[in-house]
Structure 1
């Protein structure tokens, strides 16, 4: 009886996960065969809006100048762009460098309220006070200090903003794709997110999701929220979920390209993704029920709320439940050597089946992403091919991270950045 139960249980988990995430396979098809939303990507804007960049920086003296330079070199009226840098608990000369580059700098020192969300709220509070109203700007770009942006970034984002979107995300590329399998794993994931999640969402007129950096929010949204009130460990996902619940459609601009630095060591990656995993749990526990009920109360928000619910919950939870139940069956079998002898191969087969299928799925996603984004990936051809094979392994390392994050107390910690590349460097690659 126990053997039958565990077989059907594992099969059931596989079927449920397949059904829950099948829509993302449809997204891939839409991205490959669908047409772009030309009215949002190709038409010139009727108006050049006034924007401000907000950059939260903690000890970023080695990289921040290149970001500020790339903003200064935008193919857009310079008088319509201001830059605000929040030097957040800095112990280096980040603030001095930012001022020398022409940014308006706010220095913040608070060792209790730690994290990017608090720094952003601090910025909006001071802008509102110093300028009289946050709506002195039409919109705000949110960036990390290690980024650089393509010279047409603001020009392209302004097109989508002018079409009526009040929150817009962009195409996230990498400064250091070719460093190792870890940086490539991150980079492929973000490229896949842009090409095969946000791109088809935009095509299908549902809501996209912001991802940490490289997004634009209307000052109306800032004013409505009285600043930036998203303080969980993954404030970007929290913000995306709240917008889905409230019916605010997030747009996407494929032609607006930013280059982001990825962690180079497994220790850095482990720490960062531990925070992400814990943050996803926080968002799920706080908003999961509301997302679920909103899906049925407001039918026009069903797709975006369902999409966000799948983003924050089931795959991780169901995987952990599956692992836990299989472990319980093994413990139960210890009291019955004959049953245990049969349980072990059944469970090992289930693990092997899951691993092979998971690897195959991630490999295919990595392969398709590499093929479609080949010219945009800054890496030698041989490494592009090799990193397709390591991509599933990178994704598999989320399993122990997700398990530990469920029980461990996790706090925000800064990631050191050291990849010094300009926008010109990236465009020449």
Structure 2
């Protein structure tokens, strides 16, 4: 009976089964992450003392939002004498520097460099200026925020607990201030909430390493000093730092009680450009760090081996498996229609696989989006109607990653600015998060 079954398998069946098994084996552990979050609470920490921090904000033409971020930092339930704010006005053509100074920044460093473009270069410039002018202040860690962020009033108090516990770096709970703008901003918001809840929190609970993600994180001062500044300049400098740290056996923590609000793109053009840069950046990080992470799975100290595997799966071009599967099956179907092959069963298998591949992808994303939306319902600042409606657009938002990932393989990416215009009332946002 088994022999008869195997004899009926086509090349298409074998290929598709192999891809399915490979994908399942590589990523089944993330289902355990979900189970962990739903059944276990993350560890709680308390701080024995308050530490001194420097904040670095890279800003390019952010006049509309930079004041809100600085205001939210100045409103923190944390001693203000222990927080200094440094804004790097990077190639600005507006009054970002002036607005930042008036809002209460400790200092503003204006940078004009059209050759070295990117957030990583701006952060390195800012870090070196701080070392030149404020080295005696004894900063113990450096926080990094994007100019469009605002912080919950307890953000620094909660992150201080993690730093006091010995974590060399930590990310935080990334919420969004404009979930309800449209289906695009909602797609981003749900993805980042899912990342915080079902990746970072699970990793924290299981005592493995997290990863920093764009904004809302700190890095210990001695880590930056050891590297001679901010030395991560790939398109996704945050993931590059995470990959290098984990390769070296370091552990990045997470603070689920430190909430940050991030502004998401609202046009498909801006979203495409940003996610294209991310996709290209992930390919870059994979090319630079995949071998080191693979070795780390076997050679790092025991507590750090799984983190290498987890990070490798994070940067691995998993979307390519979907693209390859669709491409392979599509090629079989086209060749059959053109008369180059005549195996009818192969054509049926190919067309079926293409349909079910896309259907299952959308179904999986819908389930992830629904799970995230319902467990984080109170943290999403929007109407119930929009929360439900955007459950059904989230799979389509994620589906658009397929052409982005494909084009990123062959096209160069350049950093393109995204305008931020949504100003929010910091006090109102903080009160909403406490309801």
TM range (shorter): over 0.9
Q: Distance in 2 between matches of 1:282 and 1:60?
A: 28
Match of 2:3 in 1: none
Match of 1:361 in 2: 364
Shift of 1:357: 1.4
Match of 1:372 among 349, 370, 375: 375
Q: Distance in 1 between matches of 2:205 and 2:272?
A: 34
Match of 1:286 in 2: 288
Q: Distance in 2 between matches of 1:290 and 1:321?
A: 25
Match of 2:4 in 1: none
Match of 1:131 in 2: 134
Tell me the secondary structure at the aligned position of residue 84 of structure 2.
Answer: strand
Q: Distance in 2 between matches of 1:314 and 1:282?
A: 10
* CA gap 1:186/1:2 in 2 versus in 1, 3 angstroms: farther
Match of 1:232 in 2: 234
Deviations 1:323-344 (A, max 9, x none): 3333443454466356265544
> Which residues of 2 match residues 331-410 of structure 1 at below 5 A?
332-333=335-336, 336=339, 339=342, 342-410=345-413
Q: Distance in 2 between matches of 1:338 and 1:164?
A: 63
Count of equivalent residues: 424
C-alpha contact 2:283 2:317 (8 A) present in aligned 1: no
Shift of 1:181: 0.8
Q: Distance in 1 between matches of 2:322 and 2:355?
A: 14
Give the TM-score, by structure 2 length: 0.94
Further displaced range: 381-390 or 340-349 = 340-349
Q: Distance in 1 between matches of 2:220 and 2:341?
A: 65
Match of 1:323 in 2: 326
Match of 1:24 among 30, 49, 60: 30
Q: Distance in 1 between matches of 2:8 and 2:59?
A: 55
* CA gap 1:340/1:86 in 2 versus in 1, 3 angstroms: farther
Match of 2:50 in 1: 48
Tell me the secondary structure at the aligned position of residue 179 of structure 2.
Answer: coil
1:145 matched to 2:151? no
Gaps of 5+ in 1: none
Shift of 1:85: 0.1
Tell me the secondary structure at the aligned position of residue 256 of structure 2.
Answer: strand
C-alpha contact 1:206 1:249 (8 A) present in aligned 2: yes
Match of 1:268 in 2: 270
Match of 2:258 in 1: 256
Match of 1:303 among 306, 310, 326: 306
Deviations 1:120-144 (A, max 9, x none): 00011111111236x8201111000
C-alpha contact 2:320 2:406 (8 A) present in aligned 1: no
Q: Distance in 2 between matches of 1:292 and 1:204?
A: 21
Deviations 1:287-329 (A, max 9, x none): 1111111111124322111111111114123223323333443
Q: Distance in 1 between matches of 2:24 and 2:203?
A: 20
Q: Distance in 1 between matches of 2:22 and 2:322?
A: 11
Q: Distance in 1 between matches of 2:424 and 2:269?
A: 23
Q: Distance in 2 between matches of 1:239 and 1:20?
A: 23
Tell me the secondary structure at the aligned position of residue 407 of structure 1.
Answer: coil
Q: Distance in 1 between matches of 2:226 and 2:330?
A: 48
Shift of 1:101: 1.5
Deviations 1:369-389 (A, max 9, x none): 111111010111111111111
C-alpha contact 1:148 1:422 (8 A) present in aligned 2: no
Tell me the secondary structure at the aligned position of residue 358 of structure 2.
Answer: helix
1:9 matched to 2:12? no
* CA gap 1:2/1:404 in 2 versus in 1, 3 angstroms: farther
Q: Distance in 2 between matches of 1:286 and 1:47?
A: 39
Q: Distance in 1 between matches of 2:156 and 2:407?
A: 40
1:75 matched to 2:77? yes
Shift of 1:114: 0.3
Q: Distance in 2 between matches of 1:328 and 1:175?
A: 43
Gaps of 5+ in 2: 1-6
Q: Distance in 1 between matches of 2:126 and 2:342?
A: 62
C-alpha contact 1:207 1:251 (8 A) present in aligned 2: yes
1:113 matched to 2:119? no
Tell me the secondary structure at the aligned position of residue 314 of structure 2.
Answer: helix
Match of 1:62 in 2: 64
Q: Distance in 2 between matches of 1:81 and 1:35?
A: 30
Q: Distance in 1 between matches of 2:8 and 2:231?
A: 49
Tell me the secondary structure at the aligned position of residue 55 of structure 2.
Answer: strand
Q: Distance in 2 between matches of 1:26 and 1:261?
A: 30
Tell me the secondary structure at the aligned position of residue 180 of structure 2.
Answer: coil
Give the TM-score, by structure 1 length: 0.95
